Structure 1
């Protein structure tokens, strides 16, 4: 029995290594965070005894996490738009180029109609943040001109998509924004940075799809005064699938477990929940 178990472990590890090598060499996923590739390849190896099926399952997980949102061809268009932005440009001069860039991402394009009210409403609840951590940020850092924050307010961006983060870093550097950019899988290495506000904008459904229970573990590990969590109102294809009710129930379950205070902000495109993280409420440290 022990020998059979060890043989099963060796087979799973062999499949893990084969899938990881294939993902590293993948044109679509090779630039994704190494920890993410390793995590997903390992899970696929445990669940599928054959490398072919395991690789198919791993690519499906990666598509759910990041592949559905940005066409790699759009990176060139983002580069061209970024090149047109002068170093040290004023906020009012960033609005048009940033809108053009936001339209390149399936998630952030849906946020465009909210930009004039979303951050106004959020910061009315949290107060002006002294620091922000944007987890699974995508292109959301390009909404900074609508946040109306001082350049000295640190903005920390985290995602698993390395090429996308390179564009975010170039943007933050051009506009002189304090902060950092990190290619990190928060399911493997939860963030330890202490901040005023964490953004998890339309991120928790993807995180929970990756690993059941991951959403509550991540929220429970955050070192922040507030977490701003949001959910889509419709599918990426624009279909109404009862998502506000579904995610409302999902959020209620999270809050029942974590005992956080919550303020709900409902918009036609997105529903936001401002969570007061009790361990850091009133702390004010960053």
Structure 2
């Protein structure tokens, strides 16, 4: 059976690269040794569940791609839940990002954030696991003449990423479910002057979280000698840190 092709038959997973699917498949096959058609279906189900966590609940669609081709990026923001729910806070976030006039930005698990955050004068490294997001961003960057590089990869494999003035990791760690030791290793490997990471403070059902602060993340920042301040929006907590 061609597991990768079968797994990607689901529309919401079709934009994930084969290599990312293969990585998840390998992990599942280490736990499940398929000996029947039923076992194969279980493998496919397990891998799809894992990949859905990676892509998250904010998926791009053919509708968004068509809007991008028309240059209707404001409508993309309105129709994309992840970007739309942050609209009121974007001015504060952009102020935090651009206060020292960075020349480069690395956006990890970027989704469609660059449509709101990118501007001329700062090279934008857009990393994501979903190729559909990157297709939309390619159109955006080229229409707006923004210097950019697209990076299709899975951060769970701890990929080597480019150096940049600012690194953004917005609502990523709760989705990818990386072990805390891997998060520490990953953050230690990033070569950026400033880090801005965020986490949701609202549950999927729309209720405030009982414990919105991520004390485990704060401990990691302390362990790797990164000082930080916290900002809050209606939906997120932001750790805005700067290497000493």
- C-alpha deviation, 1:65, in angstroms: 1.2
C-alpha distance in 1, partners of 2:136/2:102? 24
- The structure in which a higher percent of residues are strand is 2
Query: Is the 1:33–1:185 Cα contact (8 Å) retained in structure 2?
Result: no
- C-alpha deviation, 1:243, in angstroms: 4.7
Query: Is the 1:226–1:277 Cα contact (8 Å) retained in structure 2?
Result: yes
C-alpha distance in 1, partners of 2:54/2:211? 18
Question: Within 5 A, what are the aligned runs for 1:1-286?
Answer: 19-49=3-33, 50-70=39-59, 72=61, 75-76=62-63, 78-85=64-71, 97-124=72-99, 127-144=100-117, 149=119, 151-188=120-157, 190-207=159-176, 209-211=177-179, 213-245=181-213, 247=214, 249-278=215-244
Task: In structure 1, list runs of 5 or more residues that go unmatched.
Answer: 1-16, 86-96, 279-286
Query: Is the 2:158–2:186 Cα contact (8 Å) retained in structure 1?
Result: no
1:181-214 Cα deviation digits (max 9, x unpaired): 121122225233111001101112223x155533
State which structure, 1 or 2, has the greater radius of gyration over its C-alpha atoms.
1
Task: In structure 2, list runs of 5 or more residues that go unmatched.
Answer: 34-38
Q: TM-score, normalised by structure 2?
A: 0.87
Partner SS state of residue 190, structure 1:
coil
Cα separation, partners in 2 of 1:189 and 1:233, compared to 1, 3 Å:
closer
Count the aligned residue pairs: 239
C-alpha distance in 2, partners of 1:99/1:270? 22
Q: TM-score, normalised by structure 1?
A: 0.75
Q: Aligned-residue CA RMSD in angstroms?
A: 2.2
- C-alpha deviation, 1:21, in angstroms: 4.4
